[in-house]
Chain A
């Protein structure tokens, strides 16, 4: 554990010299506490995991299925919804369509040579089918199939090859069966004796770090027992962390955490927001992903500076909104936002500001809820029913949102929760519903001052620092990365571990890359309880 401390010294926020994170007395984390997690649940592949897995399996030049069952979000993450949601009849149908569509592409004359290592002797050739299917099934099902399982598929390929008079047509049916199998669609992380097997652990690691199925090297390591030793596990985890696929995996986590998919369909009224264009949503998503990827994997900075960093990425769409020169003629380039400008950190990004707002206006409540729930892992109860939730329209008496939401804070039934969220959102009122900077609303000067759990701020620049230094923020980030990995939020039997992880995060200088490694190596990550 001590070995990480020098790293802390080296890494401690190199880019925010003018305004450093608060120094914190780091409590030693000590040894990892035991966990007692809830019973295991089957995790159906998310649509992204399905796409990544079939690309790795059959070739990344294949056209991926456009329509799969939409993922359900639960407790803030699709990865948690994937452990509870059922599959609809339409979803079953879409899996069947996708399976045969992909199989047909994979067996087309231009693609099949990379998967079929032999020349078939005729429409039915059991040996060649076996040579094709055995390695393919192992990667698809993330384990070595039994001889019986392979025989059944070879038989199916033969029967279909005979009926259709075409060996590759027969293989299409067999590959279609492989992709509809529960062994492909569900992650079977069930364990025995309270622990995931090495092969199950390989799957959990691979989707956690890469958001795709294990490669052959990881499966080989799992099947040879290497993952049972701490050293062997560390070698594999470090190999995976050094692989570029880890960036894709982390981006997926941020996509889920921040619901960035919604930016693809960002809807704003162009009469209110003349700068609105349909490309802004997708550009804003890319900015958020590129900026956090660079923070974690290029700079490996203190993750708390996600709230305050001025390092970001913009394209021509965003450079106009941010009033900075576009670094590249085409696409995205790195920029350092001005130190005397209005915006910095995640909450200065158009993606967050536009997503947590209405189509025609900002929203102090929606932005405040986002900060409390997503960045601080606090639960804000829904408003009570049968209460008039309206706020006054702009008028000479209440020109800015601050005056208009005051009703929330005066009415006792509303104030309990709105006092927790509205002041945070009011701190972001210098940004309109699209995220464009403004100083006035309806002719009146905007007051963005406030207080976050004991820290006062004058505006969003200071609010960013207050969040960075809020002890709940790194604790929440530690909780969420673990939740993403195991597919549920920590329950009673995992509270000690969650607190330990928070202390480890501090011990490793709030390096997110190192925290991810800690989670992957921890005993908790492979602990499951017995099936009920």
Chain B
């Protein structure tokens, strides 16, 4: 337990304590975890407390046009320049890593489904006709199991235009994203939210916890009467109940005292205009809510589903739905290209929003690693070679930034995910399954 704040009111876990002391006396021994405590200029966070690392997924569906995607040059800083598609990210280039040339090695037997499972979980599908049958949990949920236990919400999932999302805890265990900004605001910043310094406690919280105790007991008892797959489902239900119980207990404690945290302005939900969702505008509203949820340490893990695999949404100016275009637009598919550029504009908005919140001696973005990816590269052929992958933020200095890594040998994409897990201090030495399994991270990503 602990809010990772030196001298804070809450108990600190052993790891935090160790880091805190070391940071406080500015020791000069170079221990690997120590890197996490320094920002990019090498300044220790000792004076403003150690801020938690956060992880996010920002997902867009239907892939890209690879010929316009790959940056020129490789390496760090001036050694590389953005490609046509990535031009909207020019002002955040210094916070980015672009990974090109990695492949999903798993069989591509469910168009869009295999790629989504592969890029997000490193595993495949149990049943190729059931795109929810992921063998493994997705990376956001693996992160949440390790770094999501100290906040009110283990993770939050958000989306635009009614996205179903692809965050899974395992087979048939989806975490549906919230696509209403109003509902998301109510959930995180509604009546239960208290700004730093507010000490009022709802008298019903304790009663609600005893109700949950009873429900937990009843579901636990039911487990002995059902078969194996139902037991796994009930275990998921129990997990959700335990999360909720912990959350209610934490609501009785004082809220964390974080400088950048304040209740945001209540948002509105945007409706479609002439059959077109207001994707970029909705994305911006969600970005602001997610950023504040992170800044207030309500959660440390998020996934944002800008648009789903196979979405047939009408993007601005497009003459047909997005998925329709990827298959049926002729030539070099200028409209598909424009849609992908549009996705990057929206990702840029998200990154800029995280970078606009000061935290410690840097910004919230510095303490994040945000993985942006899609389920295919060339949508037209459902290709899962040369996957489009972006990372924003340095995970508190653990990851290089302003970096283009080009994989020449077609390395396994799972290596990127394992590197991200290790950058977030998740003690895993392998990730994925079957052909997606790797036991070395893409270490070139580490600073």
- Please judge, given known A-B contacts A267-B314, A386-B383, whether A89 and B226 are in contact too, CB under 8 Å: no
Instruction: Please indicate the chain A residues that have their CB under 8 angstroms from the CB of B312 in the complex.
Output: 358-359
- Say how far B198's CB is from chain A's closest CB, in angstroms: 21
CB pair B164 A532 closer than 8 Å: no
Closest to A42 in B: B230
**Is there a chain B Cβ closer than 8 Å to A341's Cβ?**
no
CB pair B382 A385 closer than 8 Å: yes
CB pair A70 B176 closer than 8 Å: yes
**Is there a chain A Cβ closer than 8 Å to B1's Cβ?**
no
Q: How far does the alpha carbon of A385 sit from the alpha carbon of B130 in the complex, in Å? A: 16
- Please judge, given known A-B contacts A85-B173, A190-B225, whether A361 and B320 are in contact too, CB under 8 Å: yes
Closest to B223 in A: A182
Proximity bits, A93-111, B CB within 8 Å = 1, else 0: 1001000100000000000
CB pair A359 B229 closer than 8 Å: no
- Please judge, given known A-B contacts A84-B229, A388-B380, whether A90 and B162 are in contact too, CB under 8 Å: no
Q: How far does the alpha carbon of A66 sit from the alpha carbon of B183 in the complex, in Å? A: 10
Instruction: Please indicate the chain B residues that have their CB under 8 angstroms from the CB of A156 in the complex.
Output: 210-211, 214
CB pair B214 A385 closer than 8 Å: no
- Please judge, given known A-B contacts A39-B227, A269-B274, whether A173 and B207 are in contact too, CB under 8 Å: yes
Contact with A383, one of B111, B230, B236, B274 (Cβ below 8 angstroms): B111
**Is there a chain A Cβ closer than 8 Å to B278's Cβ?**
no
CB pair B183 A41 closer than 8 Å: no
Instruction: Please indicate the chain B residues that have their CB under 8 angstroms from the CB of A115 in the complex.
Output: none
Q: How far does the alpha carbon of A531 sit from the alpha carbon of B229 in the complex, in Å? A: 11
Instruction: Please indicate the chain B residues that have their CB under 8 angstroms from the CB of A93 in the complex.
Output: 187, 240, 244
Q: How far does the alpha carbon of A418 sit from the alpha carbon of B122 in the complex, in Å? A: 32
Proximity bits, A158-183, B CB within 8 Å = 1, else 0: 01100110000000010011001111
- Say how far A494's CB is from chain B's closest CB, in angstroms: 18
**Is there a chain B Cβ closer than 8 Å to A389's Cβ?**
yes
CB pair B208 A96 closer than 8 Å: yes
Q: What DSSP secondary structure best describes chain A's contact surface?
A: loop
**Is there a chain B Cβ closer than 8 Å to A299's Cβ?**
no
Instruction: Please indicate the chain A residues that have their CB under 8 angstroms from the CB of B176 in the complex.
Output: 69-70, 88, 90-91
CB pair B108 A182 closer than 8 Å: no
Closest to A386 in B: B381
**Is there a chain A Cβ closer than 8 Å to B258's Cβ?**
no
- Say how far B179's CB is from chain A's closest CB, in angstroms: 10
8 Å CB contacts to B: which residues of A259-276?
Answer: 265, 267-271, 276
CB pair B321 A388 closer than 8 Å: no
Instruction: Please indicate the chain A residues that have their CB under 8 angstroms from the CB of B218 in the complex.
Output: 181-183
Instruction: Please indicate the chain A residues that have their CB under 8 angstroms from the CB of B275 in the complex.
Output: 267-270, 276, 359
Instruction: Please indicate the chain A residues that have their CB under 8 angstroms from the CB of B226 in the complex.
Output: 40, 42, 190, 531
**Is there a chain A Cβ closer than 8 Å to B409's Cβ?**
no
Contact with A87, one of B229, B233, B321 (Cβ below 8 angstroms): B233
Report the interface size for chain A: residues with CB under 8 A from the other chain.
64
Q: How far does the alpha carbon of A271 sit from the alpha carbon of B214 in the complex, in Å? A: 56
**Is there a chain A Cβ closer than 8 Å to B330's Cβ?**
yes
**Is there a chain A Cβ closer than 8 Å to B79's Cβ?**
no
Contact with A89, one of B178, B212, B239 (Cβ below 8 angstroms): B239
- Say how far A402's CB is from chain B's closest CB, in angstroms: 15
**Is there a chain B Cβ closer than 8 Å to A360's Cβ?**
yes
Instruction: Please indicate the chain A residues that have their CB under 8 angstroms from the CB of B210 in the complex.
Output: 156, 159
Contact with B320, one of A87, A173, A360 (Cβ below 8 angstroms): A360
Closest to A87 in B: B237
8 Å CB contacts to A: which residues of B208-244?
Answer: 208, 210-212, 214-215, 218-219, 222, 225-230, 232-234, 236-237, 239-241, 243-244
Closest to B237 in A: A87
- Say how far A441's CB is from chain B's closest CB, in angstroms: 15
Contact with B211, one of A84, A176, A379, A384 (Cβ below 8 angstroms): A176
Q: Measuring CB to CB, which residues of chain A are less than 8 angstroms from any residue of chain B? A: 39-42, 66-67, 69-70, 72, 74, 84-93, 96, 100, 152, 156, 159-160, 163-164, 173, 176-177, 180-183, 186, 188, 190, 265, 267-271, 276, 358-361, 379, 382-393, 531-532
Given A85-B172, A190-B225, A270-B275; 5 other pairs, CB 8 A cutoff: A164-B204, A180-B215, A182-B222, A182-B237, A387-B382
Closest 4 CB pairs of A and B: A92-B240, A385-B108, A86-B173, A86-B236
Q: Measuring CB to CB, which residues of chain B are less than 8 angstroms from any residue of chain A? A: 108-111, 113-114, 128-130, 132, 154, 157, 162, 164, 169-170, 172-176, 178, 180, 183, 187, 203-204, 206-208, 210-212, 214-215, 218-219, 222, 225-230, 232-234, 236-237, 239-241, 243-244, 272, 274-277, 312-314, 319-321, 324, 327-330, 380-384
A-B CB contact pairs (8 Å), 12 listed: A84-B233, A86-B169, A86-B232, A89-B240, A90-B176, A96-B244, A159-B207, A267-B272, A268-B275, A358-B324, A359-B321, A383-B382
